[in-house]
C-alpha cells in the first residue's frame, strides 16, 4: 500500500489513541456529524429506494453510523487503509445490513483499485488532508467519476489558513476549544496540551487551503459547491455532480 504503510495510521496504537481522544481533540466533531446528517436528510429524504454511500477513510465507522441513524435507507461501503480501523468500523456497524468494508489506501483507489459500485453520496472526515494537493486533486477526480448524476460529495476536514496570522489565531482557537472541553468533561492536568504541536509536527498532515480545494472541485466539474461550516482550520465543504 506504499505511502499509507509509511504513515502513522499503519500503527494500531496511533489509531487507538485517535479514537479515544477524538471527541475532545477534534473541534465541533459532534456538530460536524449533525450538519452532515442534516444535509443528507435534506438531499436524499425524497429519493426513491436505497441510497448508496461511500465513506473514505472511515476510521471506526462513526460517520456511516451517524448517517444510519436517519430515516433514509442506506447501503454503505467503507474504505480505510488501516485493518485496525476497519475492524472497529465492522464492530460498530455489526447490527446493520448492507455494509461493505474495503481495505484500500486512497493512493490505490486513484491508481485503479476497483470498487464495484457508483454512489449517491461520498463522504470523508479528517482523512483527505493526509494527501498532498496533487493526490487530493486526483482523489476528487476519482470521487466525481464514482458519483451518480446529482450525487454529492462532502468532506469534513482540516485546512491550511490563508496566511500565518490567521494560522496562529486558529491554533489559539483550537486550544481554547480543548480547554473548554476539558472543563466540561472534568479532565485536569496537561493532557491534550500538545495537540496543536503534534498536529503541526506530524509529517502525515498535509493540509491545503480551502480555496485551493474548492478550486480543484470546480475545475473537475462539481457544482453547488460551498463551505458549509468553518471553525478555524476545521471545515466542511463539498459539491454536487
Ligand atoms: C483522523 S482518522 C478519521 C477517521 C474517521 N473518518 C473519523 O472522522 O473519525 C483518519 C483515517 O484515515 C485513514 N487514512 C489515512 N491516510 C489514508 C490513506 N492514504 N488511504 C486510506 N486511508 C487513510 C486512517 O487509517 C484513519 O482511519
Domains of the chain: 2-160+205-240 (3.40.50.150)
For ligand 1, atom 5, the nearest C-alpha belongs to 59
Q: Residue 186, SS3?
A: coil
pLDDT band at 3 (very low <50, low <70, confident <90, very high): confident
pLDDT band at 1 (very low <50, low <70, confident <90, very high): low
Q: How far is CA 71 from CA 37, 61, 143, 212, in A?
A: 10, 18, 25, 35
Q: Kindly give the distance from the C-alpha atom of residue 221 to the centroid of ligand 1, in angstroms, as a whole number.
A: 25
Residues in the chain: 241
Question: For residue range 73-131, what is the model confidence (pLDDT) as tens digits?
Answer: 999 999 999 999 999 999 999 999 899 999 999 999 999 877 878 999 999 999 999 99
Q: Kindly give the distance from the C-alpha atom of residue 48 to the centroid of ligand 1, in angstroms, as a whole number.
A: 31
The answer to whether 206 and 137 are in contact (CB under 8 A) is no
pLDDT band at 2 (very low <50, low <70, confident <90, very high): low
Q: Which of 30, 54, 127 to mutate to test the pocket of ligand 1 (most atoms within 8 A of CB)?
A: 127
The confidence score (pLDDT) of residue 19 equals: 87
The confidence score (pLDDT) of residue 193 equals: 86
**CA–centroid distance for 227 within its chain:** 14
Ligand 1 pocket, CB under 6 A: 4, 7, 9, 18, 22, 57-59, 62-63, 80-82, 85, 105-107, 125-127, 130
Beta bridge partners, 76, equal 53, 99
Q: CA-CA distance, 52 to 40, in Å (whole number)? A: 12
Mean pLDDT of 46-58: 95
The confidence score (pLDDT) of residue 172 equals: 97
Q: CA-CA distance, 47 to 160, in Å (whole number)? A: 36
Q: Taking the chain, what is the end-to-end CA distance rounded to the nearest angstrom?
A: 29
DSSP state, residue 80: E
Is residue 157's pLDDT more than 60? Answer: yes
Residue 213 or residue 5, greater confidence: 213
Cα-Cα-Cα-Cα dihedral sign, residues 131, 159, 85, 12: positive
Q: Quick one: which H or E segment has residue 220?
A: helix 210-220
Edge-to-edge, what's the strand order for the sheet holding 51-56? Answer: 99-103, 74-80, 51-56, 119-125, 147-158, 234-240, 223-231
Is residue 152's pLDDT more than 90? Answer: yes
Q: Which residue has the cell 484500500?
A: 104
Amino acid at each position: 500500500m506504499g505511502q499509507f504503510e509509511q504513515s502513522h495510521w499503519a500503527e494500531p496504537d496511533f489509531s487507538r489513541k485517535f479514537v479515544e481522544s477524538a471527541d475532545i481533540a477534534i473541534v465541533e466533531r459532534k456538530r460536524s456529524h449533525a450538519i452532515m446528517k442534516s444535509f443528507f436528510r435534506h438531499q436524499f429524504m425524497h429519493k426513491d429506494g436505497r441510497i448508496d454511500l461511500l465513506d473514505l477513510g472511515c476510521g471506526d465507522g462513526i460517520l456511516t453510523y451517524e448517517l444510519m441513524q436517519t430515516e433514509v435507507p442506506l447501503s454503505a461501503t467503507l474504505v480505510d487503509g488501516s485493518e485496525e480501523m476497519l475492524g472497529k468500523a465492522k464492530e460498530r456497524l455489526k447490527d446493520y445490513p448492507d455494509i461493505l468494508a474495503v481495505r484500500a489506501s486512497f493512493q490505490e483507489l486513484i491508481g485503479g483499485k476497483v470498487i464495484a459500485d457508483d454512489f449517491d453520496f461520498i463522504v470523508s472526515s479528517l482523512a483527505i488532508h493526509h494527501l498532498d494537493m496533487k493526490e487530493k486533486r486526483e482523489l476528487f477526480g476519482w470521487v466525481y467519476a464514482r458519483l451518480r448524476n446529482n450525487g454529492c460529495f462532502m468532506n469534513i476536514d482540516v485546512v491550511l489558513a490563508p496566511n500565518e496570522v490567521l494560522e496562529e489565531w486558529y491554533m489559539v482557537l483550537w486550544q481554547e476549544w480543548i480547554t473548554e472541553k476539558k472543563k466540561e468533561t472534568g479532565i485536569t492536568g496537561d493532557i491534550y496540551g500538545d495537540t496543536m504541536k503534534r498536529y503541526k509536527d506530524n509529517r502525515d498532515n498535509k493540509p491545503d487551503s480551502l480555496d485551493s480545494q474548492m478550486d480543484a472541485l470546480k475545475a473537475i466539474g462539481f457544482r453547488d459547491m460551498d463551505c458549509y461550516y468553518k471553525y478555524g482550520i476545521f471545515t466542511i465543504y463539498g459539491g454536487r455532480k
